[in-house]
Structure 1
Amino acid sequence: MAITKGGSRSKMEKKEIYSAKLRRLIDDYSKVLIVLADNVGSNQLQQIRQGLRGDSIVLMGKNTLMKRALKTHMDETGNKAIKPLMNLLVGNVGLIFTKGDLKEVSEELGKYKVGAPARVGLVAPIDVVIPPGNTGLDPSQTSFFQALNIPTKINKGTVEIITPVEIIKKGDKVGSSEAMLLSKLAIKPFSYGLVVQKVFEDGSVYDPEILDLTEDDLALKFAAGVANVTALALAISYPTIAAAPHMFINAYKNVLAVSVATDYTFPEAEEIKEYLKDPSKFAAAAPAVGSTGGADASASVAKEEEKKDEPEESDDDNMFSLFD
């Protein structure tokens, strides 16, 4: 191995070592998290490495070098499954190789986010809202608030914000006035860390939101999929396992309707035909009236009928009784 002056390795040797390490990790690990590393410092990255130490390895590097190493490995081994991984190496990304639970690793990454100030020219990853309250700034600082159309008042010799105000929207660049005001208020609105962009597992690529799905979520999605397949199969009369029970029931209904409308019969249709011939059988099959509520109702109806049958007293009878 050639060593340059001062005992350090040459750039070519470093690239070869890096390439060998990446190819070894590809062979040893089947699960890879592709993470965005924008605004992540070296100290923060070191803390993440220490936090994930055990089942996971963080590998950063230039995209061109990683792609070259993956292509070489694919050509040498014939492992075409890693080709989708090469297409994900876009932007400032890194790779986390793991043998642990992907969701747990993703949650562990979230613990190492660091608050950051709003620097001028930075694209805001979230909306920034200044809450109402006392700012602690003296009245001479009101010009900053006025420039940003933030309603304020002077309370006990300090500037107080009256209502919450959104001063930066997600996707907008931070201006000098916004950056200076947030700095004066000691607000660090942004937080940065390794953000999972995609998940690569056994040759498949999917979004990290899949990791948040529970067994109940999967059951609901599966049931919805089965319902859609069933509806489509019934609409086009195409037999599937999901649609078969419904098709059998519908076919039975059709045959039963034909049997009722014609002289053709079969054992299952006999009972229906008997009911249609003698409707009184429906009443016989009806459930009995409840003992308490039904009896009271029947008694009430009977009393009403008795009252109707009783003769009413006439006015003439009452008049004769007055002179008796």
Structure 2
Amino acid sequence: MAPKRTKAEKKVAYDQKLCKLLDEYTQVLVVAADNVGSTQMQSIRKGLRGHSIVLMGKNTMMKRTIRLHAEKTGNEAILNLIPLLVGNVGLIFTKGDLKEVSEEIAKYKVGAPARVGLIAPIDVIVPPGNTGLDPSQTSFFQVLNIPTKINKGTVEIITPVELIKKGDKVGSSEAALLSKLGIRPFSYGLVVLSVYDNGSVFSPEVLDLTEDDLVEKFSNGLSIVTAFSLGISYPTLAAAPHMFINAYKNLLAIAVEGDYSFPQADKIKEYLADPSKFAVAAPAAAAAGGGGAPAASPAEEEKKEEPAEESDDDMGFSLFD
């Protein structure tokens, strides 16, 4: 049987383990571990085995090790982890896909009863229906102002009742009633608070962004940059095409109004001198698109023109007189 290690030896071993992980991994998930039991933690470790390592410990010890390791290696990027070590938190070092690891962690949630003094993480609503409790238990419901009736020798809740609001402390009466009803309203597990990736720290919500979301955000940003650049007349890659087009339009306007000309302007002047050229393409397009629809008969065309003639007669003159 190996002798037990002293407190100092455990501390040295922990420092060595954390330093090794900091050297090997560049991705770290900072997780909250409130109300997570040892059995649940073992299940999480087992589920992440192969690509991730869960490390728990005292915040002061982790901060001290990170500082010393940064000084020793010159890797100051890991110092960004220190402000994240607040409260009951742990570190998950991973080489897997951050989104997939985060989703895997979320699977290991366990239902828990409402204990006295616990801060409710969600609203707790007691549904209506038969509770299965005998009439002697009505005192619990009366204390909490829950409307009930006796139905076939058991207590029945008439309407749904918001028993506990999110952020409130669980009282003894609420805890006792939920226990009698067999309701375990809360669920606990490791919750990802922050993501560390090669020195950068960001919110876990970023992991939920899809490629379409990124393209949309990039397009919106590009539009803002373009508009801003055009507004202050500052050339950028985004604004340059618009600047060239606007300059070309200005040159065309000057050429049309004055004697100056160039090949592209000559074509515009030609169109303006003979407007009928604008309609040259119209008959060809009509002929090309008319193959799918049957041609109208002369009688139908005359019928279509009759309303216009009646309208002219009513006005007392004809456009062709």
Normalising by structure 2, we get a TM-score of 0.85
Q: Aligned letter for 1:255?
A: L
Among 65, 71, 74, the residue aligned to 2:67: 71
Aligned CA distance change for structure 1 residues 298 and 67 (closer, same or farther; 3 Å): same
Rg (Cα) greater in structure:
1
Q: Aligned letter for 1:288?
A: A
Question: 2: distance between equivalents of 1:307 and 1:191?
Answer: 80
Among 156, 169, 193, the residue aligned to 1:160: 156
User: What pairs with 1:229-244 in structure 2 (closer than 5 Å)?
Assistant: 229-244=225-240
Question: 1: distance between equivalents of 2:99 and 2:57?
Answer: 24
Residue 62 of structure 1 is matched in structure 2 by 58
Greater mean deviation of Cα atoms: 72-81 or 215-224: 215-224
Among 296, 301, 304, the residue aligned to 1:298: 301
Q: Aligned letter for 1:208?
A: P
Q: Aligned letter for 2:157?
A: I
Question: 1: distance between equivalents of 2:168 and 2:155?
Answer: 27
Among 98, 103, 119, the residue aligned to 1:102: 98
Residue 23 of structure 1 is matched in structure 2 by 19
Residue 137 of structure 2 is matched in structure 1 by 141
Question: 1: distance between equivalents of 2:136 and 2:67?
Answer: 62
Question: 1: distance between equivalents of 2:110 and 2:311?
Answer: 89
- Structure 2 unaligned residues grouped into runs of 5+: 314-321
Residue 10 of structure 2 is matched in structure 1 by 14
Q: Which runs of 4+ in 1 moved over 6 A?
A: 305-310
Among 280, 286, 289, the residue aligned to 1:288: 286
Aligned CA distance change for structure 1 residues 309 and 26 (closer, same or farther; 3 Å): closer
Query: How many pairs align?
Result: 305
Question: 2: distance between equivalents of 1:175 and 1:299?
Answer: 88
SS in 1 for 2:155: strand
Cα distance, 1:188 vs. partner?
Answer: 0.8
Residue 191 of structure 1 is matched in structure 2 by 187
Deviations 1:76-99, CA, capped at 9 Å, x for gaps: 111111110122111111111111
Residue 254 of structure 2 is matched in structure 1 by 258
Residue 273 of structure 1 is matched in structure 2 by 269
- Structure 1 unaligned residues grouped into runs of 5+: 1-5, 311-324
Question: 2: distance between equivalents of 1:200 and 1:26?
Answer: 12
1:117 paired with 2:104, answer no
Aligned CA distance change for structure 1 residues 151 and 274 (closer, same or farther; 3 Å): farther
Cα distance, 1:303 vs. partner?
Answer: 4.5
Residue 318 of structure 1 is matched in structure 2 by none
Among 195, 199, 206, the residue aligned to 1:203: 199
Cα distance, 1:163 vs. partner?
Answer: 3.2
Two-structure CA RMSD over aligned residues (Å)? 2.6
Q: Aligned letter for 2:208?
A: D
Normalising by structure 1, we get a TM-score of 0.85
Question: 2: distance between equivalents of 1:285 and 1:294?
Answer: 20
Q: Percent identity?
A: 69
Cα distance, 1:182 vs. partner?
Answer: 1.4
Cα distance, 1:29 vs. partner?
Answer: 1.1
Question: 2: distance between equivalents of 1:22 and 1:307?
Answer: 95
